A and B are shown apart, each in its own frame.
Chain A
Amino acid sequence: MREELFVSGRNIPNIDPYLNIWHWQIPIYLFLGGVAAGILFFSGIFTILGKDHKMRTTVKVAPLLVPFLLVFGLFMLFLDLKHKLYFWQLYTTIRLESPMGWGAWVLMIITPISILWSASYVREIFPGWDWKFDILKTFESWLIKYRLWIAWPMTIYAVILGIYTGILLSAFNARPLWNTSILGPLFLVSGMSTAAALIIMLSKDHKERKIMGRIDILLILIELFFIVHLLMGFLAGSEAQINAASLFLGGKFTAPFFTFVVFLGLIFPAILEIFELKGFKVPVYIPAILVLLGGLIFRFIIVEAGQITRFLY
């Protein structure tokens, strides 16, 4: 038997009895970042493939939301900072070793790109829109002319942003649940799946919904595979990693994780989407909302559970 206690009576807020320094702001930010990355990726890739007329909502409508998602996500990050007035120092330093450092720079690049991208479609979506100044009109026609040139870096940065939401966590060696390289791809796929769900909700074109539905089913299957892969990897690891996996396999996060994330957030909506593709009448909102909520709850669970896991000594 082994028992450990603080004889000096340590009880530091948010550190003891277990770490809880990152609260609700971080999972919301990771969720919004993932959705934004997914939308920009789909919009960019369908433009590159020359399908922008067939996929109107994906390429033109959904990206209009992205600047708002990203700015709101950044605001969440700002709320998380405890020394808020010093936040600008993120942008007076370049520290490539720090995932949060280069993440801040990725956001600084992709947010303006997303604003330019949506600006080039505003008049197409809202025909009554008037840019008022001639210089803005010239700028808009320049943007429209070079759309393909913007699409390439945007697609690449979208993938980086999506992976970054996972790497932000996986770079912490001290938290065994997060310290796995599968977390980056897992968060990327999950972000793309939630983005596909949002596009399905927004789209009124049956054909487009069908294509995005198929993509979403594929992404959900990959995500389920990654989750199994994640847990199997932990079970084959050190004691600290086995403890991390046991939080989901009998521990305190088992019920919420398997109920809300795996079943209601992935398996059930995938079944509904398959039914819809087979021709059954399923209201599109139901699987889409389930996928979005599942993605959000997934990030809340991973952020909170990861902080509980630690090295044993």
Chain B
Amino acid sequence: MRYGMAIDTRKCVGCSDCVVACQTENNVPLGFCRDWVVEVVDGTYPNVSIELRSERCNHCANSPCVRCCPTGASHFEDGGIVLVEHSKCIGCGACIEACPYDARYSHPDGYVDKCTFCIHRVREGNNPACVSVCPTSCMYFGDLDDQNSKIVNVLKNRKFKSLAPEAGTKPQIFYLV
């Protein structure tokens, strides 16, 4: 089993609903966020293109954050979900430095926090909060090893990219372009 996410940059309207849903579901403290929306504008008027991306932890298969964690607080859960065990985290910041996506932050309570793919919902058979709430249904979450899953189907039929693959992290979030 290998969880992943595909996000359709052509269907995303940048409403930031995923961000608010995540903050509510996971009780993210004010002023912080586990996911965020980026607008990238390329070109000069009138030849302009816009890409909207809902970004979060890429739950990399070769995670620099897991590798550099001195206590093993950052670890892989079933399905390759990268989690931080709060009671093991010493708040040294090494994983924050190690993440090429700046997806982690120091929680006001001291430990390091980030997207969990809403593992508590996934274990109950639900989608992560961001995926469930998306008004344009531009996000697909599922098992990349299951050839019949919707996410595998989407990735088979569409062009996609991942972020900074040259960092060698093997990110598991794919952007449909």
Give the contact-size bracket for chain B.
35 or more
Residue of B nearest to A303 (CB): B97
Pair A6/B69 contact, Cβ less than 8 Å: no
Q: Tell me if B16 counts as interface (CB < 8 A to partner A).
A: yes
- Please measure, in the bound complex, the distance between the C-alpha atom of A173 and the C-alpha atom of B73, giving whole angstroms: 20
The A156-209 residues at the B interface (CB cut-off 8 A) are 171-175
CA distance A14 to B102 in the complex (A): 11
B106 touches A311 (CB 8 A): no
* Residue B1 at the chain A interface, CB threshold 8 Å: no
Whether A19 lies near B38 (C-beta < 8 A) is no
Given contact pairs A6-B36, A8-B19, A98-B70, A311 touches B100 in the complex (Cβ within 8 A): yes
Nearest-neighbour CB distance to chain A for B20, whole angstroms, equals 9
Residues A90 and B64 in contact in the complex (CB < 8 Å), given A4-B38, A19-B102, A82-B111: no
B13-42 near A? 1/0 per residue, CB < 8 Å: 010100100000000000111011111111
B41 contacts which chain A residues (CB < 8 A)?
1-4
User: Contact: B39 with A4, CB < 8 Å?
Assistant: yes
Please choose the segment from A99-107, A211-219, A293-301 that sits at the chain B interface, where 4 or more of its residues have CB less than 8 A away: A99-107
**How far in angstroms is the closest Cβ of chain A from B109?**
8
Q: Closest approach, in angstroms, between the C-beta of B101 and any C-beta of chain A? A: 8
| Distance of A310 Cα from B102 Cα, bound (Å) | 9
Residues 68 to 104 of chain A near chain B (Cβ within 8 Å): 80-84, 86-87, 89-90, 92-93, 95, 97-101, 104
Give me the interface of B with A, judged by CB distance under 8 Å: 14, 16, 19, 31-33, 35-44, 52, 64, 67-73, 87-94, 96-100, 102, 105-106, 109-112, 163-164, 166-169
Residue A12 is within 8 A (CB to CB) of chain B in the complex: yes
Q: Please, how many residues of chain A have a CB less than 8 angstroms from a CB on the other chain? A: 48
Contact digits for A13-45, partner B, Cβ 8 Å, 1 yes 0 no: 111100101100000000000000000000000
Q: How distant is B88 from chain A, measured CB to nearest CB, in Å?
A: 6
Q: Which residue from B14, B70, B106 sits with its C-beta under 8 Å from A90?
A: B70
Q: Is A313 in the interface zone, CB < 8 Å from B?
A: yes
Residues of A in contact with B (beta carbons under 8 Å apart): 1-16, 19, 21-22, 80-84, 86-87, 89-90, 92-93, 95, 97-101, 104, 171-175, 238, 307, 310-313
8 other contacts beyond A12-B32, A89-B88, with CB at 8 A cut-off? A7-B52, A13-B32, A13-B106, A83-B89, A83-B90, A90-B71, A101-B70, A310-B100
Q: Of the candidates A81, A99, A311, which one forms a contact with B91 in the assembled complex, judged by CB atoms under 8 Å apart?
A: A81
Residues of A within 8 Å of B68, CB to CB, are: 97-100, 171-172
Decide if A172 touches B97 in the complex (CB within 8 Å). yes
Q: In the complex, which residues of chain A have a beta carbon less than 8 angstroms from the beta carbon of B38?
A: 4-7
Given A3-B41, A172-B97, A172-B98, decide whether A101 and B71 contact each other with a Cβ distance below 8 A: yes
User: Contact at B91–A174, with CB atoms within 8 Å?
Assistant: no
In the complex, A99 Cα to B164 Cα: how many Å?
23
A-B contact pairs, 28 of them (CB 8 A): A4-B40, A7-B37, A8-B35, A10-B36, A12-B33, A13-B31, A13-B105, A15-B96, A19-B102, A80-B92, A80-B93, A83-B91, A83-B110, A86-B87, A86-B91, A89-B71, A98-B69, A100-B68, A101-B71, A104-B70, A172-B68, A173-B64, A173-B100, A174-B64, A174-B98, A311-B167, A312-B164, A313-B164
Contacts of A100 in B (CB 8 A): 68, 70, 92, 94
Are A8's CB and B36's CB within 8 A?
yes
The CA of A224 and the CA of B2, in the complex, are separated in Å by 48
What residue in chain B is nearest A78 (Cβ atoms)?
A: B90
CB neighbours (8 Å) of A310 from chain B are 100, 102
B70–A5 CB distance below 8 A: no
Provide the residues of chain A in CB contact with B96, threshold 8 Å. 15, 19, 21
Closest CB of chain A to B11's CB: distance in Å? 15
